[in-house]
Amino acid sequence: MKIERESVKLTATVSCAVLYAVGCYITSYIVSPWGVGQFRPAVVIPSLFAVIFGPWPAGVGAAIGTFIADSANQGGFHMGSLIAAVPGNFLGFYLMGWYVGKKFTWGRFITASVLTLVFANLLVAALYVGVYMNRFLHSLPPYGLGGLTMFIVGLTIWWFVTMLPFVVLITPPLIRGVANAFPYLVDDSVIEATLLGDMPEEGLVLSLLAPGAMMIILGLGISYTTLGAQLTGFFGNQAAELIEVMTYVGGFVLAALGGVVYLKTHRG
């Protein structure tokens, strides 16, 4: 029985890696306003595997998948991915699988999703910008410590805002589908929560409204305080304008999604 379970985990790891690599590669042409950092709705894949199969298949699968996608996008071995994306994806989705695996509830899933995306994206941004670009490529303009920090924080926010809606809105139906189709693969707590329980309305709404509000506030800060001038000084006028637009669009999209979920769950 142990051998069978280990074989399932190995198959899950390979499947996660392949699916994540394909998903990441498909949207790899959409990048952040800084020219680095890809649009990745494919994060729903390791999120799903973290819940269904646990930390190791999700973490290892995400690490291998992101490296394959990044290297394919670059046309060869991508050192930056190995330095930043591989450890960030592994640790992020390993921790998600570990946390929800202790006892699955939808509240724990939402908490794990938010914390994972903040932690993993911040780690990837710090390693990619601070280590790979700064130390290996020597390609960063002379931003100084403040500019370097803003670059890292900006990438983190962009990834977080573009990933969170997909994780909290698409992953739950996928979990329900897998639990219905293959109940023998998942823990009893996942089956019960998926088949008998509902997503906690307040948690889902808050997970969308809170980051949406923060993004809108950040956009207002860029538009009406000295933060806008600082961004222009660090990144140039065009990039600063893109960042400003990104904060508003991301913030209003998240806030709108939160409002739709609230109205839907409270109607009548």
Dump pLDDT digits (tens) for 74-117. 999 999 999 999 999 999 999 999 999 988 988 889 889 989 99
Region label for 174, one of left (φ > 0), alpha (ψ between -120 and 50) or beta (otherwise): alpha
* Span 49-74, pLDDT tens digits: 999 999 999 999 999 999 999 999 99
Hey, is 136 helix, strand or coil?
A: helix
Mean pLDDT of the chain: 85
Higher pLDDT, 6 or 45: 45
pLDDT in tens, 142-188: 566 667 787 888 889 889 888 988 998 899 999 989 988 888 888 88
Handedness of CA 240, 221, 145, 67 (dihedral sign): negative
Are the C-beta atoms of 232 and 143 separated by less than 8 Å?
no
What's the pLDDT tens digit per position in 13-62? 999 999 999 999 999 888 776 677 888 999 999 999 999 999 999 999 99
For 162, counting Cβ atoms within 10 Å of its Cβ (0-12 exposed, 13-18 middle, 19+ buried), the class is buried
Residue 107's nearest CA partner among 187, 185, 213, 202 is: 202
Per the CB < 8 A criterion, the answer to whether 161 and 121 are in contact is no
Nearest to 167 by CA among 215, 134, 119, 207: 207
The gap between the terminal CA atoms of the chain, to the nearest Å, is: 50
Helix axes 2-26, 55-74, angle to 10 degrees: 30
Two tokens, residue 246: 């990104």
Nearest Cα neighbor of 93 from 50, 133, 64 is 50
Q: Residue 209's pLDDT is what?
A: 85
Please report which confidence band the pLDDT of residue 199 belongs to, taking 50, 70 and 90 as the band edges. low
90 vs 164: CA distance, rounded Å: 18
| Residue 243 pLDDT exceeds 80 | no
63 CB contacts (<8 Å, ≥6 apart)?
A: 85, 86, 87, 89, 90
Examine the pLDDT at 235 and tell me if it is beyond 70.
no
What is the SS3 assignment for 38? strand
Task: Indicate the fold that domain 2-199 takes in CATH.
Answer: Arp2/3 complex 21 kDa subunit ARPC3 (1.10.1760)
Residue-range domain boundaries for the chain: 2-199
pLDDT beyond 60 at 196 = no
Instruction: Answer whether residue 219 shows pLDDT above 80.
Output: yes
Identity of the amino acid at 257 = L
Q: Is the pLDDT of residue 5 over 80?
A: no
Structure tokens at 264: 């839907």
Question: For residue 121, what are its two tokens?
Answer: 């994206």
